C-alpha cells in the first residue's frame, strides 16, 4: 500500500509565472516611482 504523498503528482515549477507576474506589476510601478523621484528632486533644486 502506497502512502498518499507518493500518489500525488509532482507540483509544477511556477517560478517563471511568479517572475512574470511580478514583472507585470513591477515595470509600471517602477515607471511611476521614477517619475515621482524626478518630480520630488524639484523640492531641492526648484
Would you tell me which residues interact with other proteins (CB under 8 A)? 5, 8-9, 11-12, 14, 17-18, 21-22, 24-25, 28-29, 31-33, 35-37, 39-46
Rounded Cα distance between 15 and 12, Å, is 9
Rounded Cα distance between 14 and 9, Å, is 15
Q: Least distance from C-beta 22 to other proteins, angstroms?
A: 5
Helical residues (DSSP H) of the chain, grouped into ranges: 4-7, 15-40, 42-45
Taking the least distance from each CB to other proteins, the nearer of 1 and 40 is 40
Taking the least distance from each CB to other proteins, the nearer of 1 and 28 is 28
Amino acid at each position: 500500500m502506497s502512502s498518499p504523498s507518493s500518489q500525488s503528482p509532482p507540483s509544477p515549477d511556477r517560478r517563471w509565472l511568479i517572475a512574470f507576474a511580478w514583472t507585470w506589476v513591477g515595470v509600471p510601478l517602477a515607471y511611476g516611482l521614477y517619475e515621482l523621484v524626478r518630480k520630488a528632486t524639484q523640492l531641492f533644486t526648484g
